[in-house]
Structure 1
Amino acid sequence: MNRLILLFLSVGLLALSVAKAADAPDVKLEQTVVKMQLEEGISMDEAIDSMKLRANIHNMGLVAELPLSKQVEAMGRDARRMEIFQFCDPLTAQRMVEENIHFAAYLPCRIALVEDEDGQGWLVMMNLDMMLQSTTLSEELKTEATRVRDALMDIMQAGAQGAL
């Protein structure tokens, strides 16, 4: 009898979770990112230099560079250029994780440089507004996280424009 009750409870919980998933708003992948095209005449190398310089102005450390297309080429395949740049404000990152351990999955902040099929360079980053709006933070920490978001947007704009 207890097994039967557990079975009915399990089926009921499964049905409830499926119903909730069906009611969830449809979020398209494009809505979860911010994407900027490199301006005409700006090379991908110039964009990288501009992003690195702008990151220094905002005290955002470049903690990693991942040359993914070079790794693919080393495996014997052709690849359009794709590099990932990871920026971080360590003190804010620490505070975010102390507030909620789930923020660790979003660290460090990444900006990808991607070459499309036409040879055009793009900068792509997670839409941090979605994250900021979907969580409860203290006013002080929300202000700090918003400052980091603004700095990352400025870094992307500098890269897209080739601004030194």
Structure 2
Amino acid sequence: MRTRFLAVFGVVLSTLLLSAPVSRAAEPKATQSTQADVYKVAVDRGVSMADAAESMRLRANALNLQLVAELPLSKQVEAVTGQPQRTITIFQFCDAVTAKELIDVNLDFAVFMPCRIALIEDASGQGWLVMMDVNVDAIAQEMRVPQVLKDRINAVRNSLLEIMQAGAKGEL
């Protein structure tokens, strides 16, 4: 039970997603469990992968979310294999104050931070922004997260959604 809870909560904190309705990509969601699944947004065809990434960086900055890491996985694979790769980049965003307050509630929360958005180019060249989609309210209630902190988690989730939408559209 604790392992499942931590896995689900990890998804919650690593994404802090989807408290507001947002249109979903036409492709079906890939279910991870009964409480968590994948949320994907297609990058508009006229938006390059580089422009999507830059739009996400700029929107995060405008929303006061820190980009604490950017992992260019495809470039690392290219360096090891010598073979060109489709884009796979993991962006990690953080609201340090909210993260610290969650850790104050329970140290276990630390292993699930920061929030992640993956920018992935599929085999057909279509770009996708991918995050986990979970029920934060249920987990926050189980861990007895105060309402004020729960509201801040939802604000971060909404910001992450906005970052994804900006990236998908190439908006600055």
How would you bin the TM-score normalised by the shorter chain? 0.7 to 0.9
Deviation string 1:62-116 (CA, Å, 9 cap, x unpaired) is 0011000000011114421100011001000100111122222220001100010
Which residue in the other structure is 1:4 paired with?
A: none
Q: Over aligned residue pairs, what C-alpha RMSD do you find?
A: 1.8
Gaps of 5+ in 2: 2-29
Q: Figure out how many residues of one structure are paired with residues of the other and give that number.
A: 138
Determine whether 1:121 maps to 2:127: yes
Quick check: which has more Rg, 1 or 2?
1
- Amino acid of the structure 1 residue aligned with 2:70: E
Which residue in the other structure is 1:22 paired with?
A: none
For normalisation by structure 2, the TM-score amounts to 0.75
Q: Secondary structure at the match of 1:117?
A: coil
Determine whether 1:35 maps to 2:43: no
1:161 corresponds, among 140, 152, 169, to 169
Q: Is the 8 A contact 1:114 1:121 kept in 2?
A: yes
Percent identity between the two aligned chains: 49
Q: 1 or 2, which has the higher helix percentage?
A: 1
Which residue in the other structure is 2:158 paired with?
A: 150
Gaps of 5+ in 1: 1-16, 18-26
Deviation string 1:36-55 (CA, Å, 9 cap, x unpaired) is 00012011111111101110
Determine whether 1:49 maps to 2:51: no
Q: Secondary structure at the match of 2:45?
A: coil
**Structure 1 stretches (4+) deviating beyond 6 angstroms?**
none
Which stretch shows the higher mean deviation, 71-80 or 138-147? 71-80
